[in-house]
Amino acid sequence: MSVDIAQVTERIKTESAFVNGLLSEIEKVIVGQRYMVERLLIGLLTRGHCLLEGVPGLAKTLTVTSLSRSIHASFARIQFTPDLLPADLTGTLIFNQKTGDFHPQKGPIFANIILADEVNRAPAKVQSALLEAMQERQVTIGGTTYPLPEPFLVLATQNPIEQEGTYPLPEAQVDRFMLKLKVGYPSREEELVILERMTSHSVPEVSPVITLEQINRARDVVRDVYVDEKVKNYIVDIVRATRSPQLYGLELAEYIAFGASPRASIYLTLSAKAHAFIRGRGYVTPEDVKSIGMDVLRHRVILTYEAEAEEMKPEDVIQKVFDKVEVP
């Protein structure tokens, strides 16, 4: 199928016009963290859920809240706790004494943007209910299935340093998240700006600047971004190199227990398209793949005990793959 890249680029210029306005609006509150904000936007444009991992106080929750406030969309923040029940998310049936009937009381999951705060604090049944909603985009209450609104995006946070009272997400469930973001500390200059901004009399607020219609139109255009055959082969080679490193001249087999699945190839392509869209391009380059690759792959490459003994991280293995696989 031939693709008119010039035509796609022209559509992207029109439909991506909101991106700079959206980023500027969020940056009224959030200092730095452009990486995190862009990745959340990529998730929004590709229907991909995001998992944010970082120590407390790095504005993970504030960033998600600011993103939701910059869009004319419904938003729900769910604080995950050890005593949470699946019905607290999805809803339940309520008995009506007047009519003698049960009617559904929908839970907070029925919103466009869901902030699952400290997702690893809830027990497995609650996580399972959330992840089913993420995958199927529907919820069953009392035998009746209800579709979730579109767009539907789950942005979950977890704290990597505190293990007491937590229920870590199994690898198979983490795989449902399109991107896993590692949120780091701000620079010295950024921390000074944060200090001045958040300790003054008037703390800035975010206003809605885009609509759901704009997001849906942008999602359609993202799908049309052109990916050359060479770039597709590059994506497949990267993912396959995490499964069979020896085929690519990498001596990593003893360190990798499980490589990335075909879901990684799909998400890597989609997120690279969205990365190109944000930059106003109608085609994907290998640099788009490299830029987003770590966030797509870090939670999909499972290391062996040997790797952990040598204090290797998934990021180390993935970087070796990127360094070795030939760029088209």
**Euclidean distance between CA atoms 86 and 202, whole angstroms:** 39
pTM: 0.86
CATH number of 19-211: 3.40.50.300
pLDDT of 164 reads 61
Bridge partners for 91 per DSSP: 106
Q: Give the HSE-up count for residue 84: Cα atoms under 13 Å, Cβ half-sphere.
A: 30
pLDDT in tens, the chain (328 residues): 456 778 888 888 887 778 888 888 888 887 777 888 889 899 999 989 999 888 777 778 888 888 888 888 888 999 988 888 888 888 888 887 888 788 888 889 999 989 988 888 888 888 888 888 888 888 888 778 889 988 888 998 887 766 666 677 777 778 889 999 988 888 888 888 888 777 777 777 888 888 888 888 888 888 888 899 999 999 999 999 999 889 888 888 888 888 888 999 999 999 999 999 998 888 899 999 999 999 999 999 888 898 888 888 889 999 999 998 888 8
pLDDT of 268 reads 94
Whether residue 74 contacts residue 149, with contact meaning beta carbons closer than 8 Å, is answered with: yes
CATH number of 225-324: 1.10.8.80
Give the length of the chain: 328
Can you give the residue ranges of every domain in the chain? 19-211, 225-324
What is the token pair recorded at 194? 């944060």
